[in-house]
Amino acid sequence: MKTGVIIKSTGKYYDIKDDSDGSKVHGIIRGKFKLKGFKLTNPVAVGDQVHYEMEDDVAVIKSIQERKNYVIRQSPRKKHHLQIIASNIDQVVLIVTIIEPNLKPGFIDRFLLLTETYQIPVIIVFNKSDLYGPDEKNIFDTLKTIYEGIGYNVMLVSCFTGEGINALQQVVKEKISLISGQSGVGKSSIINQLKPQLDLRTKEISGYSGKGQHTTTFAEMFSLDEGGYIIDTPGIKTLGFNYLEVMDVAHNFREFFDVSKDCKFADCTHRNEPQCAVKKAIENGMISFLRYQNYLQIIDDIENQNYWERIKDY
């Protein structure tokens, strides 16, 4: 039996890089692979280590090795499916920008829910620094303080001036990095800086909506000349959480979880419960009010969505 790593996953076919000779083969799956009973749009994901056998010139994937970690999201197309973005990664580089397009309130906190289950390190990269005036710089400084305060790495870069690009190259060197972000933030431009041979197409932001166009449809892994791999992923529009419960969110806001052992109730949702350690920490300035607002919004969304789901069952 041969072994290899999935370097591209479309949900229909899979590209595999063979472990022994590095050759690239086209793979398919037969039968069913499931994850904790959830339906998956892509049972085999980029980063998966697989066993396969050649049948004619097609690689038939027989099994997936246990994943060290993975990043999963609600499928943007099929509401009750989950999509594994990638597996077996060392870190995530989340690309955002404060303007062009405007940073969506809560987006970073929503994204961090995807990586927290496995405590995957996240580097939050603010791109387009060349466009930041004093207001944007202030916002950046505030966000940097918040996110570094809870253990994330925050960087400021510009593809146009080159600011921070060398530092980013050092960060991705010899690591497997998943690169993600909303459409239009400059993900393709950054990847082109990290691996110029790829020459990914970048798209002008359409003046009307302020949103960039999709340039990537499927996740794909590339090797870097300096060592390491990057995984390019489709731009994210929205992140839904119909597969989570309120307590899942509470547990995955890391600084809330840290103090929540001092809440009076073990299942405290940190809203109106008495003697809530999270609310006390917000009053003391130990926990960011911005994070708290975003948390409330997410659990509200989840409860509303579950409400409508239940009504449908009547």
In the complex, minimum distance from the CB of residue 288 to Zn ion, in angstroms, rounded to a whole number? 16
How far apart, in whole angstroms, are the C-alpha atoms of residue 136 and residue 201? Answer: 27
Answer whether 298's CB lies under 8 Å from 106's CB: yes
* Amino acid present at 313: D
How far apart, in whole angstroms, are the C-alpha atoms of residue 247 and residue 268? Answer: 8
Q: Does 184 bind ligand GDP (CB under 6 A)?
A: yes
- Binding to Zn ion by CB under 5 A, coded x per residue (else -) over 211-230, reads --------------------
Q: Of 185, 244, 263, 268, which lies in the binding site for ligand GDP, with binding defined by CB under 6 A?
A: 185
Q: Of 19, 53, 55, 130, which lies in the binding site for ligand GDP, with binding defined by CB under 6 A?
A: 130
Answer whether 247's CB lies under 8 Å from 298's CB: no
Q: Does 101 bind ligand GDP (CB under 6 A)?
A: no
Question: In this complex, which beta carbon is closest to ligand GDP, that of residue 110 or of residue 187?
Answer: 187
Q: Does 268 bind Zn ion (CB under 5 A)?
A: yes
In the complex, minimum distance from the CB of residue 200 to ligand GDP, in angstroms, rounded to a whole number? 7
SS3 313: helix
CA triple 213-26-231, angle to 5 deg: 40
Q: Does 207 bind ligand GDP (CB under 6 A)?
A: no
Q: Does 164 bind ligand GDP (CB under 6 A)?
A: no
Answer whether 113's CB lies under 8 Å from 73's CB: no
In the complex, minimum distance from the CB of residue 213 to ligand GDP, in angstroms, rounded to a whole number? 7
Tokens for 38, please give them. Answer: 């959830």
Q: Identify which range of 35-43, 138-146, 199-207, 278-286 contacts ligand GDP by CB under 6 A.
A: 199-207
DSSP codes, 81-106: EEEEEEES-SEEEEEE-STTTTPPTT
How far apart, in whole angstroms, are the C-alpha atoms of residue 131 and residue 157? Answer: 11
Tokens for 107, please give them. Answer: 């987006």
* Residue 278 interacts with, from Zn ion, ligand GDP, none (CB under 5-8 Å by kind): Zn ion
Q: Where does this chain bind ligand GDP (CB under 6 A)?
A: 127-128, 130-131, 158-160, 181, 183-189, 202-205, 212, 215, 235
Q: Where does this chain bind Zn ion (CB under 5 A)?
A: 263, 268, 270, 276, 278
